[in-house]
Amino acid sequence: MSTALPAPAREPAWSLSRSAIGLWTVQGVLGTLTYAVLVTAGILVVPGDAGALATIVRWGGPALVLLIGVVTTGIRPRLRYRVHRWEVTADAVYTLTGWLDRTWTLVPISRIQTVDVNRGLVQQLFGLATVAVLTASSQGTVRIPHLEVEVARRVAEDLARRAEQVRDEAT
């Protein structure tokens, strides 16, 4: 999987809360259950004498659900936790996200427009929150997912305060 080629960008310094693994696993379970329901419905709808289609739905469907289940609950959460990192430097917010694809995002504090703290339903169970940093660009949003609520709140406050001080109106 990994090669000798160096990463294109520096790795941000801090890792996420370990509870993030649990949260991603729960999300994986929920997603797998959704697929399982869909496949069950498919098996009920397709008549048994529909030939090749029936075979595909009967055997391929459950196999696919099993595969999705293993990947999204067993493999993906751990891989994600290994990849995801974040950092707030002297003048920028910097994150690394993804599991197969990797995305490094860097936004200077001087260009921050708003800072949001979001808490999803599952996130609340794990005491986590996501900090979303918005800029003037619709594509230039940085999300630091799954920080402990207290950390998220402090980061958001700190960023908002510093953005206020150094905001430049160039954009």
> Is 137 among the residues that bind another protein (CB under 8 A)?
yes
Instruction: Determine the interface stretch with another protein among 62-70, 98-106, 119-127, 151-159 (rule: CB under 8 A).
Output: 98-106
Among positions 53, 66, 67, 136, the unique one binding another protein when judged by CB under 8 A: 136
Name the minimum Å distance from CB 20 to another protein.
21
Determine the residue type at 51. Answer: G
> Is 3 among the residues that bind another protein (CB under 8 A)?
yes
Please state, in angstroms and rounded to a whole number, the distance separating the CA atoms of residues 3 and 33. 35
Residues whose CB is less than 8 angstroms from the CB of residue 35 and which lie 6 or more positions away in sequence, other chains included? 64, 65, 68
3-state secondary structure of 163: helix
Instruction: Determine the interface stretch with another protein among 22-30, 31-39, 84-92, 148-156 (rule: CB under 8 A).
Output: 84-92
Looking at residue 135, the DSSP 8-state letter turns out to be -
Among positions 5, 44, 45, 121, the unique one binding another protein when judged by CB under 8 A: 5
Name the β-bridge partners of 114.
134
> Is 113 among the residues that bind another protein (CB under 8 A)?
yes
> Is 103 among the residues that bind another protein (CB under 8 A)?
yes
Instruction: Determine the interface stretch with another protein among 62-70, 121-129, 135-143, 153-161 (rule: CB under 8 A).
Output: 135-143
How many CB atoms sit inside 10 A of residue 165's CB? 8
How is the chain split among helix, strand and coil, in percent rounded to 5? Answer: 50, 25, 25
Please state, in angstroms and rounded to a whole number, the distance separating the CA atoms of residues 168 and 107. 13
Among positions 76, 111, 126, 147, the unique one binding another protein when judged by CB under 8 A: 111
Instruction: Determine the interface stretch with another protein among 15-23, 28-36, 129-137, 157-165 (rule: CB under 8 A).
Output: 129-137
